[in-house]
Amino acid sequence: MSKALVFGASGQMARALVPLLAERGWQVDAVTRAGRDVPDALAPLARAVPMAASRAATIQAGGGYDAVFDPMAMDASEAADLLQAASDVGQFCVISTASVYADAQGRSLESSGETGFPRFPRLITEAQMTVAAGDGYSSGKVAMELALLHSKTTILRAGAIYGIGARHPREWWFVKRALDGRARVPLVDQGRNVFHTSSAAGIASLAAFCFEGGHCGLFNVADPQPLTVAQIGHAVFEAMGHQADLISADDLPEAEWQVGYTPFSCENPVRLSTARARGLGWDGGPSYESLMPDYTAWLASRSATWEIDFPAFAAYGYDAFDYAAEDAAFLP
């Protein structure tokens, strides 16, 4: 029986991967961050193991593993921690991000506030240039990738990740409006923006595929179709049985820029090519629309505690749910 260790077991990606591996006959050990409990749904499927002083120590304490999944490695030092246990691991899989990519002028998603939004090719392949390795989120991820790239490691570059257990569920922007009965929902650029989504289920699907096939290297991972913001809104509302008109927020004064600005809104499209992974035989994972009923139901179940459960919204610097501003802009 193959044996896997999954870090970050309380998070969205592990919640998708653990059941998939268990279903395929793997023995799974699960580690949570900061002493969090393993989710109830995973408890029958995985053995909870404590986090030791380091990743390497945790791996070695478990007697070694055929596969180790780590969605939390952020920089070269954490990559080095994993590599200290390389002799005890058959294959690593770590999660990186599309924010490592830079356009021909060196502009990236992370630097867009200072340099302007990047203008990428129609589809971003793994050959696209990246930001330089260093400190910070995106630069740290590049440093992590470089440290692991030539080892027995699968590196998955994801877009806008979503799934049950998310701490920053961008879909909450739409779900809360449905729960609050909003009948008119403004969108900047008429909702034509594209920020390619990546489901936790799709990431888990590709990780398991790579573990079982021994596929290492760099792979983009994203949903089969890159949806526009308007299409995302329609998918969320349809899953919730909510009717709302999506209206344009393009003619508002500059001072009201935040009206209609969603967590998916971006000046230029961001679409990831998954041709490299598909070329190996990966099926591309589930569609966005197919995952919305269960996902939106889970999001709705957190409505009473969303400000605690989804803390990223508090860091936006503006109120993402300023209905008064929306009504003032559009009501006569």
Q: Per-residue pLDDT tens, the chain, 332 aa: give them.
A: 899 999 999 999 999 999 999 999 999 999 987 767 888 899 999 999 999 999 999 999 999 999 999 999 999 999 999 999 999 999 999 999 999 999 999 999 999 989 999 999 999 999 999 999 999 999 999 999 999 998 999 999 999 999 999 999 999 999 999 999 999 999 999 999 999 999 999 999 999 999 999 999 999 999 999 999 999 999 999 999 999 999 999 888 876 888 999 999 999 999 999 999 999 999 999 999 999 999 999 999 999 999 999 999 988 989 999 999 999 888 65
Q: Where are the beta strands (DSSP E) in 59-151?
A: 65-70, 89-97
Q: Are 182 and 323 in contact (CB under 8 A)?
A: yes
Question: What is the pLDDT at residue 252?
Answer: 80
Pairing of strands 153-158, 89-97: parallel
Question: What is the pLDDT at residue 332?
Answer: 58
Instruction: Name the residue among 110, 80, 73 with its Cα closest to residue 95.
Output: 73
Q: What is the pTM of this model?
A: 0.96
Residue 73 in tokens: 């490695």
User: In this structure, how many other beta carbons lie within 10 angstroms of the beta carbon of residue 203?
Assistant: 25
